[in-house]
Structure 1
Amino acid sequence: MNKFRSARLKLGALALGLASLLGMGGGEAHAQDGPVGAASTATVPIKLALIESLSGPFANTGEAVFRNLLWATERVNARGGVALPAAAGGARPLQISRYDSKGQNEEALSALRAAIDDGARVVMQGNSSATAAALIDAVNKHNERDPDKRVLFLNYSAVDPILTNEKCSFWHFRFDAHADMRMAALMEVLRGDKALKSVYLIGQDYSFGQAVLREARKQLAAQRPDVAVVGDELHPVGRVKDFAPYAVKIKNSGAQAVITGNWGNDLTLLVKAAREVGYSGSFYTFYGNAMGAPAAIGDAGIGKVVAVADWMPNVSGAPSASFYKAFRERFPRPQDDYVHLRMQLMIEALAKAMEGAGSVDAVSVARQLEGIKVSLAGRSASMRAADHQFQQALVVGVMDKQGTPGVPFDVEGSGYGFRVVRDIPAAQTEQLTSCKMQRY
């Protein structure tokens, strides 16, 4: 009897794997195309809703997220899907549906309602902390009103610390290091730059950008009180087309370095403008390692652009290199080269939690996610139960030309990559939390 059951499970896994290769979670969809990767008629997919900017000034970042999550779900589906007991539907594939928030909170909230109506019980978002905060509030209210349709919110990029502190929620899990953790990692490098005496702080004018500059001032005062802050300003998010006036102010301030949490076009246009006005200082960034920034900076960024991330392509070790090469094979266009290990780990953690719970029930899966440990590409991470903040190593890299020691891989076909200069273990990146969570 057990032999027959084993054979059926193997055949089912093979069928799901072939379905994945033939299109289940396969080809890339456009904004508002709906479900990506239709499941076979013999299985009921587990619906995941991606709520993200898929049009407008930050559409490129939304599409980059989609590619990462699509690849992650393809990997799960290729090995047979999420292994659930027969009562929960048996082995089931993951299926992503796309919802375009258009970079607006109200649109994101409408998308959340549509996703829930469409049967999604897991929502994913990250490219705006303001949007994430709105979604946390909406998910909290929905789950109280309609306990039979509770949903989980998986956050891969919204890094305002408040989201796992004052606004922490049982239904929300953050898989990225928050802004204070990232700033502490950058300070590991900045602290050693003894020639640095002045910095310019610039950021996007919303909760995340404000949090970055606030923490920069705090950590500079504590660790480099000798460094003067010669500029400190915020600019509108996604609305500045010409950063030349900002770049001129940065240059005229005499700042030897810029500290910024800017992302997407707000970063690319800023560094491009700085290069064009002849600014020769360094950039300490959260996201300067991709999305067009290295190509925009060019040779001027060699040895001067510093970025922090959960992982970079030039992290040493064969597992990491194999992981990156596999992504490039799946998405061979250079402009698609923006891979996030944390997003892969997020989907792995979700699948593992569902299997551990033996269901897709939000409460059961949330309890499994608390404290879960996952590994991929030679890196490991775990979810802290106290505040649902992922604990993982962080790396800091410095821009250099591909082919120089430590830079076997470039970024987006630019000819520039990032040499890892700090690999900070999870135990060192961890920070205290003020979360007081209501549990279920």
Structure 2
Amino acid sequence: MNFTKHALGTLCGAMLLTGAAWAQKGETVKIAWIDPLSGPFANIGQNSLKTFQFVAEKVSANNPAGVKFEVVSFDNKASPQESLTVLKAAIDQGIRYVTQGNGSGAAGAIIDAINKHNERNPGKEVVFFNNAAVDPDLTNSKCSFWHFRFDADTSMKMEALTTYMKDEKNVKKVYIIGQNYAHGHQVAKFFKEALARKRPDVQIVGEDLHPIGSVRDFAPYIAKIKASGADSVVTGNWGTDMSLLIKAAKDAGLDANFYTYYAGANGSPSAIGPMMDGKIKFVYIGHQNIPELAKWTQEFSAKFKDDLSLLSTLHVLPTLAAGIAKAKSTDPVKVAMAMEGLTVKSFSGDVTVRAADHQLQQPLYIATWSKITDPKKQWNAEGTGYTWVQNKVFEPYVSSTPTSCQMKRPGA
């Protein structure tokens, strides 16, 4: 992948000029991947695992520290409790780096457990790379030196989404629907706050929070949305909760535009299909039609017969490799210190680990579900004949929300 080769190659060259010697060259760094491989969100987890394994192979072949990466998978069934069980198993195996992303509840549990482990076991510290759990509290009131987030959080995405929506004059009546856990609550909260600032004329005509991962028929919810007269729906749903929500909207003939976080995630494009042409948008850190992603997108599809959709995972290992190179060590404490304030080249340009809270600062994109018009340049999302057409790119400063984090660093 060009961005990885350029970013890490440049850093490698700079370090070589200083005559740095890599004592850990050829060392294998293990990453414990903790996410669902069973249950209602298994498809999302399986896609994430494939992506990490794919990126590990690519980055292992070319990185400035000369290390190899091995991804060791653990099924947490999307459960915070199960996450703690498999985290202990990973630590018992001597793994010092952990990644997880599907569910902020699980992420919060992992952060708490790692904080306690590291305090009680100096010299055996563990670092957590959060690739997709987006509850803003994780880098605010619950921030930790041992936690780094590579996706944009809920508030950042909502800042970009509502900046786009404020100029959409057809948005007059909005219905909010989401999963009844931290992320769903935060989507509703930040949408209402941003709307009051940017489009106070817009009416919120309804709001629902449903059980996560257990609703099999969203028809009753869609009926309420239809009855409300909403012209727009805002949702943070993901996985089967996203796919089944869209299916119910199609079946009911709901004439509304959807503003989403995760309509591009694994399985959702197939559920959307041709009936929602132009009616679904998402806000995310990228999309499959970014030219710098083309080579990896094609290779991933050929290898796994699946789409490369969880793009936040693409930042984790390149940034870790750059941190190891800067630290001249694979020791988690030294690497975490080195990663603070680190900037690397990405498929979307420069991305930076903000030292204050370890939240990655990066561009955000708005894209719309549309019929393919140029098959040579546009990605055929899940073989549907449709793709994500870019509407807007927001530079990091637009969505960079402030943090209340009071970081406690080792030795402080």
* TM-score, reference length from structure 2: 0.90
Correspondent of 1:74 among 34, 37, 57: 57
CA distance in 2, matches of 1:406, 1:386: 43
How much identity, in percent, do the aligned residues show? 43
The alignment status of 1:384 with 2:354, answered yes or no, reads yes
Q: Give the CA deviation at 1:221.
A: 1.2
Contact 2:44 2:265 in 1 (8 A): no
Partner of 1:288: helix, strand, or coil?
coil
Paired residue for 1:325?
298
The alignment status of 1:355 with 2:321, answered yes or no, reads no
CA distance in 2, matches of 1:195, 1:52: 39
Paired residue for 2:258?
283
Which segments of 5 or more consecutive residues in structure 1 lack a partner in the other structure? 1-41, 84-90
Paired residue for 2:171?
196
CA displacement, residues 266-313 of structure 1 (integer Å, 9 cap, x when unaligned): 000001001101111000000112322233222332111010111111
The alignment status of 1:423 with 2:406, answered yes or no, reads no
CA distance in 2, matches of 1:313, 1:126: 20
CA distance in 1, matches of 2:71, 2:391: 36
Contact 1:403 1:409 in 2 (8 A): no
Correspondent of 2:207 among 229, 232, 238: 232
The alignment status of 1:142 with 2:117, answered yes or no, reads yes
Correspondent of 2:37 among 23, 46, 54: 54
Paired residue for 1:184?
159
Matches within 5 A, 1:22-421: 45-79=28-62, 83=65, 91-315=66-290, 317=291, 319-331=292-304, 333=305, 336-377=306-347, 379-403=349-373, 408-421=378-391
Q: Give the CA deviation at 1:249.
A: 1.0
CA distance in 1, matches of 2:41, 2:376: 31
CA distance in 2, matches of 1:360, 1:262: 37
CA distance in 1, matches of 2:251, 2:49: 32
Contact 2:34 2:74 in 1 (8 A): yes
CA distance in 1, matches of 2:217, 2:327: 51
In terms of Rg, which structure is larger? 1
Letter in 2 for 1:345: H
Contact 2:261 2:283 in 1 (8 A): yes
Using CA pairs below 8 Å that are at least 6 residues apart, which structure has the higher relative contact order? Answer: 2
Distance change >3 Å, CA 377–CA 325, structure 1 → 2: farther
CA distance in 2, matches of 1:329, 1:373: 31
Q: Give the CA deviation at 1:185.
A: 1.4
Contact 2:297 2:308 in 1 (8 A): no
Letter in 2 for 1:357: A
Letter in 2 for 1:151: V
CA displacement, residues 214-240 of structure 1 (integer Å, 9 cap, x when unaligned): 111111111111111111110001011
Distance change >3 Å, CA 294–CA 280, structure 1 → 2: farther
Partner of 2:123: helix, strand, or coil?
helix
CA distance in 2, matches of 1:164, 1:236: 25
Letter in 2 for 1:408: Q
Partner of 1:148: helix, strand, or coil?
coil
Paired residue for 1:31?
none
CA distance in 1, matches of 2:81, 2:409: 28
CA distance in 2, matches of 1:202, 1:92: 44
Contact 2:348 2:363 in 1 (8 A): no
Q: Give the CA deviation at 1:104.
A: 1.1
Q: Give the CA deviation at 1:344.
A: 1.5
CA distance in 1, matches of 2:26, 2:118: 27
CA displacement, residues 86-118 of structure 1 (integer Å, 9 cap, x when unaligned): xxxxx4421111111012111100011000001
Q: Give the CA deviation at 1:202.
A: 0.5
CA distance in 2, matches of 1:44, 1:345: 21
Paired residue for 1:33?
none
CA distance in 1, matches of 2:259, 2:90: 37
Contact 2:43 2:267 in 1 (8 A): no
Say what the alpha-carbon RMSD is for the aligned residues: 1.8
Partner of 2:273: helix, strand, or coil?
helix
More off after superposition, 342-351 vs 107-116: 342-351
CA distance in 2, matches of 1:379, 1:61: 26
Paired residue for 2:21?
none
Which segments of 5 or more consecutive residues in structure 2 lack a partner in the other structure? 1-24
Contact 1:327 1:339 in 2 (8 A): no
Partner of 1:375: helix, strand, or coil?
strand
